Amino acid sequence: MLNPVKNIVIVGGGTAGWLTAAIIASHHKKAAGQSVAVTLIESSDIPTIGVGEGTWPTLKNTLQDIGLKESDVFRECHAAFKQGAKFVDWVHGNGDFYYHPFTYPMGYGRIDLAPYVTNIENYAVEANFQHHVCEAGLAPRMLAEGEYKGTCNYAYHLDAGMLGKMLKEHCIEHLNVTHIVDTMQNVNLQDDGNIRSVSLNKCGEICGDLFVDCTGTAALLIGNSLKVPFKKVDDVLFNDSALAMQVPYVNENDPVATHTIATAQNTGWIWDIGLTHRRGVGHVYSSKFMTDEEAEANLRNYLGEAGEGIACRKITYESGHRERFWEKNCVAVGMAAGFVEPLEATAIMLIEISARYIAENLPPTQELMPITAKRFNQQMDYRWSRIIDFLKLHYMLTKRPEPYWQAHCDKKSIPESLQEDLAIWKYKGPTVSDFQGANELFPAASYQYVLYGMGFKPDFTAHGHLYQDHQQADRLIKRNEQLTEQMLQTLQPHRNFIHQWLSTTN
């Protein structure tokens, strides 16, 4: 072997750093008797970003793969089930709402129910039962179902700080990750441009074969040192600011929402995430369209009495991502790679995907690294462009009159790839065969829920002969009604379920 890749050094101990460490270390522990060493460096002086409480269903497999018990995650991270997102006021701003649930529509992949439902704006209601489960505030599974399983697909709402702490303990105690608490001062490059080592304040020089930049928006390795440019996308997705609050429940037994509530405002939107011990609520907006004071007034108006006396924390960010994510022997993961906005909780999902790629495709020699880097960059570039398109879809079909929303409808702000999708979907709607499989983050189902929820109506008559399977469609729509009835009767209220489940497991 020429120059082996054995020492992985991760700089940064936020969600990105610890999740990456856990995914790589657990994969190589299983696969090669711990022949790969993982070291994580984090500064005690530089705080983590402290937000990021909404997740995507991929996290179920990730947590299971790295060896965590689901009930432990719920206990330690005050977690709750997230079965999708409810978008309120996004179409007209008059109390309208629709769901993007995580469970596929009935008949998905075999028959597209969109041409058959009675009201396409109610697609999620007629084609799937999870809308009703969320509206009724029910848990996604029954007690008899095991950990990480569920009648309804789900992700989590969890306390990001506690998740980081839990991952840290797991990495150190069970996955042999070496932990260094110190602040990085310098990145030391070799003549060929690869990183030789990082110099720390107290601990001196730490060498590595592969460095993972998890330093957050500072992007100290990939940006500051390796000078990979940042590609802004604020001409497509305008938000650049957020105000975040932690809001206690009025009564400790108040219901916990089992979906993220995303409520559109005159500019931007408010997220409302229910954990078991508090809510995480925040307003994300564009500073070009609204002042911080106006945003705070929106947020306080939304919260009413529940927000009285609670301070909010301001966070700013640039909407965009690196032009390349893997450069020389350095990969950026998390905020260091980029961030566009919190809608649909794509950031933690991308951390999981990036870390899994590194773990599974770790080149055995330095000489192979350029090929791995090139492939990783191609995949991630595609994924970022799909994320940007999918998020833009939430905005561009609005009928809201305010300047922020109208600017989102301006054709100049809509990526060409999305304009092409919309042109095709005008006559058939999104279907499974439109999508590229393994590299897609969002399935056709997600596009259907959002597109139809936003009031987009394809003209199915152009190929009307394809939509004559009324018998099967009616049977599935009826079956959905029966399943809905069954779930409403058998599933427990969300908070009761979590309480009962955790009191019967240890």
Ligand X SMILES: Cc1cc2nc3c(=O)[nH]c(=O)nc-3n(C[C@H](O)[C@H](O)[C@H](O)COP(=O)(O)OP(=O)(O)OC[C@H]3O[C@@H](n4cnc5c(N)ncnc54)[C@H](O)[C@@H]3O)c2cc1C
Binding region for ligand X (CB under 6 A): 11-17, 41-43, 46, 48-49, 51-55, 160, 183-184, 214-216, 218, 220, 242, 282, 284, 315, 317, 334-336, 339, 342, 345, 347-348
Contact residues for 32 (Cβ-Cβ < 8 A; gap 6+): none
Locate 4 and state its tokens.
Answer: 């082996």
Q: Of the two residues 20 and 366, which places its CB atom closer to ligand X in the complex?
A: 20
Q: Give the whole-angstrom CA distance, residue 237 versus residue 408.
A: 8
Q: Of the two residues 195 and 476, which places its CB atom closer to ligand X in the complex?
A: 195
Q: Smallest distance from the beta carbon of 363 to ligand X, in angstroms?
A: 23
Q: Of the two residues 17 and 208, which places its CB atom closer to ligand X in the complex?
A: 17
Q: Smallest distance from the beta carbon of 284 to ligand X, in angstroms?
A: 6
Q: Of the two residues 82 and 324, which places its CB atom closer to ligand X in the complex?
A: 82
Return the percent helix, strand and coil in the chain, to nearest 5: 40, 20, 40
Q: Smallest distance from the beta carbon of 45 to ligand X, in angstroms?
A: 7
Q: Give the whole-angstrom CA distance, residue 52 versus residue 217.
A: 14
Phi-psi map region of 84: left, alpha, beta (phi>0 left; psi -120 to 50 alpha)? left
Nearest of 482, 462, 454, 466 to residue 123 by alpha carbon: 454
Q: Smallest distance from the beta carbon of 19 to ligand X, in angstroms?
A: 8
Buried residues in 411-430 as b, exposed as e (16+ CB within 10 A): eebbbeebeebbeebeebbb
CB 456 within 8 A of CB 423: no
Amino acid found at 132? H
The total of other beta-carbon atoms located within 10 Å of residue 66's CB is 22
Q: Cα dihedral sign for 144, 149, 155, 159? A: positive
Q: Of the two residues 129 and 339, which places its CB atom closer to ligand X in the complex?
A: 339
CB 94 within 8 A of CB 69: no
Q: Give the whole-angstrom CA distance, residue 209 versus residue 213.
A: 13
Judge residue 170's burial from the number of C-beta atoms within 10 Å of its C-beta, 0-12 exposed, 13-18 middle, 19 or more buried: buried
Q: Give the whole-angstrom CA distance, residue 31 versus residue 128.
A: 40
Q: Of the two residues 8 and 160, which places its CB atom closer to ligand X in the complex?
A: 160
Strand bridging mode 204-207 / 326-327:
unpaired
Catalytic residue among 6, 60, 69, 82: 82
Helices (H) and strands (E) in the chain — how many of each?
14, 21
Q: Smallest distance from the beta carbon of 481 to ligand X, in angstroms?
A: 33
Q: Give the whole-angstrom CA distance, residue 140 versus residue 149.
A: 9
Q: Could you tell me how many residues make up the chain?
A: 506
The total of other beta-carbon atoms located within 10 Å of residue 35's CB is 11
What is the side-by-side strand order in the sheet with 338-339? 230-232, 320-322, 338-339
Q: Of the two residues 21 and 210, which places its CB atom closer to ligand X in the complex?
A: 21
Query: What are the CA-CA distances from residue 364 to residues 5, 327, 367 (Å)?
Result: 5, 17, 9
To the query of whether residue 411 is one of the catalytic residues in this protein, the response is no
Q: Of the two residues 12 and 453, which places its CB atom closer to ligand X in the complex?
A: 12
Q: Smallest distance from the beta carbon of 496 to ligand X, in angstroms?
A: 25
Q: Smallest distance from the beta carbon of 295 to ligand X, in angstroms?
A: 12
Nearest of 355, 313, 341 to residue 15 by alpha carbon: 355
Q: Give the whole-angstrom CA distance, residue 488 versus residue 506.
A: 28
Q: Smallest distance from the beta carbon of 222 to ligand X, in angstroms?
A: 12
Q: Of the two residues 199 and 379, which places its CB atom closer to ligand X in the complex?
A: 199
The total of other beta-carbon atoms located within 10 Å of residue 363's CB is 18
Q: Smallest distance from the beta carbon of 231 to ligand X, in angstroms?
A: 17
Any bridge partners for residue 98, and if so which? 87
Q: Which residues are catalytic?
A: 82
